[in-house]
Amino acid sequence: MEVILLEKIGTLGDIGTQVLVKPGFGRNYLIPKGKAVVANKKNIAIFEKRREELEARQNEKLDAAVVLAEQINALDITLERRASDTGKLFGSVSANDIVTVLKEHSITVEKASIKLPDGSIHTTGEHIVIITLHLEVEARLTLKITMSGPMEDADNKTH
């Protein structure tokens, strides 16, 4: 199936590139998501009329991603988690936790854009989290995981 890309897509190409893709990929992903249209005479003519608009929209997305990356890069977030004496967390810090923390700073990112080593963080210390905001823009979030204070055992409390 031949399609015209309406935005830059990683390994496929830039805006306006006509590429041959597997029919399922085109029908089930590219076309429904508005990333491409079927390459026929009518769509080629429509695309040429809209090329400048699409390129401008792509540049706006890139500019917004750069601004967001600067905001994220400037953050220095510390999370307290229960951990053993060796620094191994009781549980882990996941992409969902990072999405929640960023929302507290009025920053919205998709869970899928967050890259964590081994899928989650399992130890205390400083960790760099990579967040893909655009094909050409990645943010680096500095995340410090510290051990929370001692947990009091409710059965051992004296009155």
Q: Are residues 87 and 149 in the same domain?
A: yes
**For 10-35, b where at least 16 C-beta lie within 10 A, e where not — what string?**
eebeebbeebebeeeebeeebbeeeb
Query: Which residues span the domain enclosing 150?
Result: 75-154
Same structural domain, 142 and 109: yes
Domain assignment present for residue 69? The answer is no
The pLDDT tens digits for 33-78 are: 999 999 999 998 888 888 888 888 889 999 999 999 999 999 989 9
Please state whether the predicted TM-score (pTM) of the whole model is above 0.85: no
d(CA 126, CA 47): 47
> Do 60 and 79 belong to one domain?
no
Of 30, 64, 98, which residue sits at a domain end?
64
